[in-house]
Structure 1
Amino acid sequence: MPVTSAALLLHHGRGADAHVLIAHMGGPFWARKDERAWSIPKGVVEPGEDVEAAARREFAEELGVPAPDLPVRDLGPFRYTSGKVVHVLAVEVPAALVGSPDDPASPDLTTRPGTSTAQVEWPPRSGRRIDVPEVDRAVWFALPRARPLLVLGQQPVLDALVAATTP
Structure 2
Amino acid sequence: MPTTSAGLLPYRRLPGGGLEVLLGHMGGPFWARKDAGAWTLLKGELDPDEEPHAAALREASEELGMALPPPSAPDIELGEVRQRSGKKVLAWARAWPEDGPDLAQIAGNTVEIEWPPRSGRRIEVPEIDRVAWLPPDDARRLAVSAQAAFVDRLEEALAPPCGYLTLPLGRVSVVRGSIGTDNRSPNGRGRRPSRTRSAPNSSWPRSTRRRGS
User: Same fold by TM-score, threshold 0.5 exceeded?
Assistant: yes
Question: After superposition, where does 1:146-157 map in structure 2 within 5 Å?
Answer: 146-157=139-150
Deviations for 1:129-162, whole angstroms, at most 9, x for unmatched residues?
Answer: 1000000001111111111110112111111111
Q: What letter matches 2:34 in structure 1?
A: K
Which segments of 5 or more consecutive residues in structure 1 lack a partner in the other structure?
none
Letter in structure 2 aligned against 1:129: R
Counterparts of 1:33-72 in structure 2, within 5 Å, are: 33-70=34-71, 71-72=74-75
1:73 aligns with 2:66: no
Q: Give the 3-state SS of the residue equivalent to 1:158 in structure 2.
A: helix
Alignment partners' CA distance in 1, 2:116 and 2:123: 9
User: What runs of 5+ residues in structure 2 fail to find an aligned partner?
Assistant: 161-213
The structural deviation recorded for 1:57 is 0.9
Match of 2:10, SS?
A: strand
Ranges of 4+ aligned residues in structure 1 off by more than 3 Å? none
Q: Distance in 2 between matches of 1:79 and 1:18?
A: 25
Q: CA deviation at 1:68?
A: 2.0
Alignment of 1:107-122 (within 5 A): 108-109=105-106, 112=107, 115-122=108-115
Give the whole-Å Cα distance in 1 for the aligned partners of 2:57 and 2:9.
10
Q: Is the 8 A contact 1:56 1:66 kept in 2?
A: no
Please give the TM-score of this superposition, normalised by the length of structure 2. Answer: 0.69
Contact 1:22/1:140, CA 8 A, preserved across alignment: yes
Give the % identical residues.
47
Cα distance in 2, alignment partners of residues 91 and 63 from structure 1: 14
> 147, 152, 155: which one pairs with 1:159?
152
Based on CA coordinates, which of the two structures has the bigger radius of gyration? 2
Q: How many residue pairs get matched? A: 156
1:76-87 matches, within 5 Å, as: 76-87=79-90
Larger relative contact order (Cα-Cα within 8 Å, sequence gap ≥ 6) = 1
Match of 1:10? 10
Is the helix fraction higher in 1 or 2? 1
**What code does the residue aligned with 2:11 have?**
H
User: What is the alpha-carbon distance in structure 1 between the residues aligned to residue 50 and residue 84 of structure 2?
Assistant: 24
**Which AA in structure 2 matches 1:26?**
G
* Whole-angstrom distance in 2 between the partners of 1:121 and 1:29: 11
Please provide the CA RMSD for this pair: 1.7
